[in-house]
Amino acid sequence: IRIFVPRDSAALALGADQVAAALDVQARQRGLDIELVRNGSRGMFWLEPLVEVQTPAGRVAYGPVAPGDVQDLLDAQFQTGAAHRLCLGLTQALTYLRQQERLTFARMGVTDPLSLADYQAHEGFAGLRRALALSPSEIVQQVLDSGLRGRGGAAFPAGIKWKTVAAASSAQKYIVCNADEGDSGTYSDRMAMEGDPFMLIEGMTIAAVATGATQGYIYIRSEYPHAIATMREAIAKASAAGFSGSNILKSGKTFHLEVRKAAGAYVCGEETAMLESIEGKRGVVRAKPPIPALKGLFGQPSVINNVITFASVPIILARGAAYYTDYGVGRSSGTLPFQLTGNIKHGGLIEKAFGITLRQLLFDFGGGSASGRPIKAVQVGGPLGAYVPERYWDVPMDYEAYAAVGVTVGHGGIVVHDDTADLSRLARYAMEFCAIESCGKCTPCRIGSTRGVEVLDRIAAGNNNAKQVELLRDLCDTMLHGSLCALGSMTPNPVLSALNHYPQDFGLAVPVAE
C-alpha cells in the first residue's frame, strides 16, 4: 500500500514529518505493509499536510491531517470503509487541481521527487533525449519557437539569450540558474526544486547541450535548506546515471552542476549581483553592457534563467514548441504557476495558461478572502509589483495586457489584502524594503528610498499632504528613471499604484489622476 505524505517545506511547517511518523507507527501496529512516499506538495496549502492513499480507483486524499487523526484515518480507509471527516475523495477529481493546466508542475505531488525511475515513468528526460538527437541550433530554435519568456519577472525571451550564448566564441561558458526566489508571496521555484528537482536539472542540461556550456550553478537562497539538500541529492543521482555530469547519456558532452547557497540579500536576485555573489564577492549590481550572455559569470558567456524558465524547457523539447504555444495568449505563450497568498481562503499554486484573470484566481480558485471581508487590493508580481484595484481584476493576465494598465505579472506572486488594509502603510513598507535591500550603488535608490520613507511618514502625520504627495511623485519619477536596476526603478510601482488607486488612504479626498 503506497501512502503519500509531502516533504515540501510548507507541509513540513504544518507537521508533515509528525504525520508520516504516526503513519509509520500505526501501520506497523496493524500489520499493514505500507510504502511511505514523501512526495512534493500538490500546492493546496490549506489542506496540508495532505495525505494520499493509493487505491485501485486512484489516490484518495485526506487533509489537513494531524498526527492525532492517523488512527481514525487508517480505520476508515482499511477497516470500516466509512468516509472519514477529512476524506476529500480522489485527488485527481479535486476542483482546484482539475481546473489547472499543469505542464511544468504536471509531476508535482505525483512522483517521488528523488526517484529517477518515477521521473522517467512520467516523461522525465524525454526532453533531454530529444535534445541530444537535435543539433544545438535546432534546440535553440525550439526554445525560440515556443515563445518562452523569462519566468523570473523580466519576461525576456529565453531563446534569444540561448542563441546569443550559443553563438559566442569562448572556451568556457556557463549555465546559471537564479533560484534566489526573494519576492514576497512566491514559492514556485522552491516547490519545483523540492518536489521535482530532476526537471530543473534536465532543463539546465538541455541549455548546456544547446550552447556548449560545460559548467552550471544553481544559486539557491539560504532560506531554502530543504531545496538545497534536495537539489544536491538529485544532482548526484542524475550525474551517476549519466543524465548530467560527464558523458551525458553517452553523447560525449559534459555538464557539471553545482548548488551555490546564496547570501541572503534580495538584490542578489538581480542577475549581475548574483554573478558577483557566485564569484565570491559582495552582491552589488553590475552596469550593463556588457550583457551577461556575452560577459557573465567569471567574464564568460552565460545563460542566466530562473528556475521555472529552465523547468519549462523539458516539455517544450519533449512535445515540441507548437504544443507549448497552444497555451497562452499573444506573445505570452505557455503557462505560469501563479502563487496565491496573503488574506485568501485557499492559498496555493495554480498553473494556468496566460490569459486567466485575477478575479478567476481570487474567487474560482482562492474562494475569496480568508477573513471573509471584501478584498481591497491585490499586489501582483512581488514586493515591487503594483497594487491592483478591482477595476482591473478582469484584465487577462498576460505580459502585454498587464503592462497596458501599469502592472507587471512578474514571477506570478499574488498577495491579497482585505478592506482593513491601509495602502499608505503598504506604500511605506515598499520604500522601507528598498532602503533596507538597496545595494547602495546608485543614488536614486540608496538615498531616494530613505527620503521616500520620510515623505510617507509626513503624509501619514497629515502634514500638508498635497505638497508632500507632489514631492513623493517627483521622487518616484527620479527613482524610476535614474536607478541602475529594477530594485530602485520598480519600487515606485507599489507606491504610485497605492497612491493612484487608494488616494483616501493618503488623506486625499479627491481621486488623483493616473
Cβ at position 280, least distance to ligand SF4 in Å: 19
Among 441, 451, 458, 473, binds ligand SF4 (CB under 6 A): 441
CB-nearer residue toward ligand SF4: 369 or 449: 449
Identity of the residue, 127 or 488, whose beta carbon is nearer to ligand SF4 in the bound complex: 488
**Residue 30, CB half-sphere, CA atoms under 13 Å: how many?**
19
Query: What's the closest the beta carbon of residue 490 comes to ligand SF4, in angstroms?
Result: 9
In whole angstroms, the minimum distance from the beta carbon of 269 to ligand SF4 comes to: 10
Using CB under 6 A as the criterion, what x/- string covers residues 479-498 for binding ligand SF4? ----xxx-xx----------
Site for ligand SF4 in 411-440 (CB under 6 A): 438-440
- For residue 214, which amino acid is it? T
- Interface pattern 275-304 for ligand SF4 (x via CB under 6 A): ----------x-------------------
Nearest distance in Å: CB 341, ligand SF4: 24
Query: 56-62 long-range CB contacts below 8 Å, 24 or more apart?
Result: 57/90, 58/90, 58/91, 58/92, 59/4, 59/90, 59/91, 59/92, 60/87, 60/88, 60/89, 60/90, 60/91, 61/87, 61/88, 61/89, 61/90, 61/91, 61/94, 62/86, 62/87, 62/88
Neighbours of 288 (CB within 10 A): 12
List the x/- string, 239-268, binding to ligand SF4 by CB under 6 A: ----------------------------x-
> For 287, which DSSP code?
P
CB of 160 to ligand SF4, least distance (A): 23
Coil, strand or helix: which one is 185? coil
Any contact of residue 451 with ligand SF4 (CB under 6 A)?
no
Asked if 442 is part of the footprint of ligand SF4 (rule: CB under 6 A), the reply reads: yes
* Least distance from ligand SF4 to the Cβ atom of residue 277, Å: 13
Q: Are 265 and 487 a contacting pair, CB within 8 Å? A: no
Q: Which three cell numbers stand for residue 301?
A: 558567456
The kind and range of the H/E element at 158 are helix 158-167
Which residue of 140, 445, 459, 495 would you call a contact of ligand SF4, by CB under 6 A?
Answer: 445
Grid cell of 291 as nine digits: 550583457
How many residues in the shown chain lie near ligand SF4 by CB under 6 A? 14
292 in Cβ contact with 115 (< 8 Å): no
Interacting residues with ligand SF4 (CB under 6 A) = 267, 285, 438-442, 445-446, 483-485, 487-488
